[in-house]
Every structure is written in structure tokens, then in C-alpha cells.
Amino acid sequence: MFKKARIKLSIMYLAIVMAISVSFSVFIYRIVSFEIRSRMFEIGSRLYIRQGGFSAPPEQGMFFVEDIKETENKVLFVLIYTNIIILTLTSFAAYLLAGITLRPIEEAMEEQKRFIADASHELKTPLTALQTSIEVALRDKKINLKEALFTLNDSLKDVKSLTILTNDLLSLTRYQQNGLKESFQKVNLGLVIDESVAKILPIAKNKKINLKVDSSDSIIKGNRESLAKLVTILLDNAIKYTPEKGRVEIENVTRGRSAIIRIIDSGIGISKKDVQEIFERFYRADASRSKTKAAGFGLGLSIAKSIVDIHKGSIDVESEVGRGSTFIVKLPIE
Ligand code: ADP
């Protein structure tokens, strides 16, 4: 598909360049031809005068007709030759340029295809499990109320987890489309942190995690709702990947033209190999799955990264396996 589009675009580029080149050549030919004829006429007139005006006075075009024709032919030849060279060179350049023009579109389409494939794959597994458990329950003629309720409860859990997955997928596409710019306004990061902490506090309490908050006023320009989501994702992960009675800390400071948020935990940590991958869609480190058995689809950090990108900031992680992780978000101050 892209090969055809590339050839079509190359032909269009070529047609534009050749239309300009041929029109320019016709224009040059006319001017040169006119110039040659008037010059020849002038020379002829001078010669006639020098020779004492033996013959009849010259009229334009009477003198050196052969020479004029020959010179015009030479000019024509040079122009045609130049156009052939332009055609050849432009063909290569147009093909190259068409490739460069189409590359970002091709990459975006590839990315979209990958996204659909990944999302379908992630949706398929829980859907198949759900279907199987319902079918098994329906086939069981002797099923009692207790067993039926158990199956229903189990199915409800799967449906809830599917809802989380689809919501995450929708968030990711929304943030990746970069359409939030219009809703940028002044946001106090300190308040955003306090709100996210209030939301996440019950989970921390449930795990007996010591959650320390050191928030301060720091105004940036951004989308409030997405910034709240960013802080919530990072806090949620910090609690999720920290064993009971652990410690999680969140703070924000202003350094020069940047607002910095740090989320520090005393959790399981991330290996060097995994640190390279965790911001990739659907990536989950083996250790986090086996050690904490924490639920998740590996979308949180991709969403967080997309939000940071929209705000032209950066997100980094420093981590040591078994000792904990620190996520550092830098956002430019307006
Ligand atoms: P999820 O938490 O749903 O698996 P995320 O995209 O939020 O997905 O995180 C990707 C992976 O990064 C997690 O599966 C986990 O392995 C690792 N990770 C993220 N945050 C932490 C953290 N604070 N401590 C240890 N590992 C983490």
C-alpha cells in the first residue's frame, strides 16, 4: 500500500518540478531566440553600412538566417538536454522525498496496528476465561445456588478487570493523541498531589504502608485531570509493589524552570533490564508478578509517560532490586 502511495507521490513531485522546468525552458528559449534575432539584425545592419550600402537595406531576419537557425537549435538542444538531466535527477530525488514524507505516516500506522494487536491479545485471554467458566456452569445440570453465585462472582471479577483494561486502553489512546493541549490551564501540583494522596490513602492503610507526603505549592501549565492521573498511577504502583508495612514517600519541589515530583518506595525494586522496558505498553516485570502477585496490565507507566510527554516533561526511575524505587517526574514551569 505504501509502495503504491510512494510511487504516486513521486510522480506528483516529478510532474510539479517538470512543469516548472519546461515552462522555464520555453520562456528562456523565447527570450534567447528574440535576443539572437535582434543581435543578428543589428550586426547585419552594421555590415551593410560598412560595405557602403551596396545591396537593399536589411530587414529583420534577412541576415544570417542559417546562423540564427543553427544557434536556436543549439539553445534548444541544451535546454532539452538540461530537462532530461533534471528529469533523471528529480525522479530519484522525488522517490527519496516521497519516502521521507510518508515515513511518519507509515510508522504511525504500524504503531496503530501493533496497538490493536496487543489490545486484542490482552482482551482475548480474560474473555476466553470468562466464556469458559460461564459455559461450564451452564452445562452443569446439577448446579446449586451456592455454586452458581460463586461462578457469577468470579465472572463479575473478570468483567471488572476487563473494564479496567478497556478504560486504560482508552486513556492511553486519548493521551497519545495529544489532544489535551487545548485544556491546559494553571495547575497547582501541590493540590493535585494532596487530592491523589487522599484517594490512595485507604489502599495504603490497608497494607499498613507508611505514606509520607511533602507537597508544596508549585504552579505549572497543564491538564489538571491528566496530572492527577499521573500522580495516582505512580502512587498506586509504589504501594502495589511495596510489601506490607513498607514506606512510600511523595514530594514536590521547584528547581529553576522545572517542577519536580519524586515518588519513593521501599518496595521490591526493578532490575536494570526491566528499567529499560517498564514504560513500554503491556510490559510487566516477572519479579513484580511472582513476588507481589499484583494485578495489572502493564499500561499504567505507558499512560504516565504519555501524560508527561504531552506536558513536555520527563520521567525517570532510579531503582535497586530489593531496596525500592524512586520515580522522578520533571515538568516545565510555565
Ligand atoms: P502494572 O502495574 O499494571 O503492571 P505499569 O505500567 O504501571 O503496569 O508498570 C509496569 C511494570 O513496571 C510493573 O509490572 C512492574 O513490574 C514495574 N513497576 C512499576 N512501578 C514499580 C514500582 N514502584 N516498584 C517496582 N516495580 C514497578
**Least confident window among 123-132, 252-261, 313-322, 325-334:** 123-132
For the stretch 205-233, what's the b/e string if a residue is b when 16 or more beta carbons lie within 10 angstroms of its beta carbon? eeeebebebebeebebebbbebbbbbbbb
Give the C-alpha separation, 285 to 289, whole Å.
Answer: 7
pLDDT tens-digit map of 146-203 = 999 999 998 998 899 899 999 999 888 888 776 677 789 999 999 999 999 999 999 9
pTM over 0.85, yes/no:
no
pLDDT tens-digit map of 36-67 = 888 877 887 887 777 665 555 555 445 567 87
Percent of the chain surpassing pLDDT 90:
65
pLDDT tens-digit map of 73-86 = 999 999 999 999 99
User: Which of 277, 278, 280 to probe ligand 1 with, by most ligand atoms within 8 A of CB?
Assistant: 278
pLDDT at 272: 92
**Cα of 294 from ligand 1 centre, angstroms:** 9
Ligand 1, atom 20: nearest CA belongs to which residue? 237
**Cα of 293 from ligand 1 centre, angstroms:** 12
C-alpha Rg value of the chain to the nearest Å: 37
Closest CA to 249 of 237, 263, 239: 263
pLDDT tens-digit map of 205-244 = 999 999 999 999 999 999 999 999 999 999 999 999 999 9
Task: For residue 288, give the ligand 1 atom closest to its CA.
Answer: 16
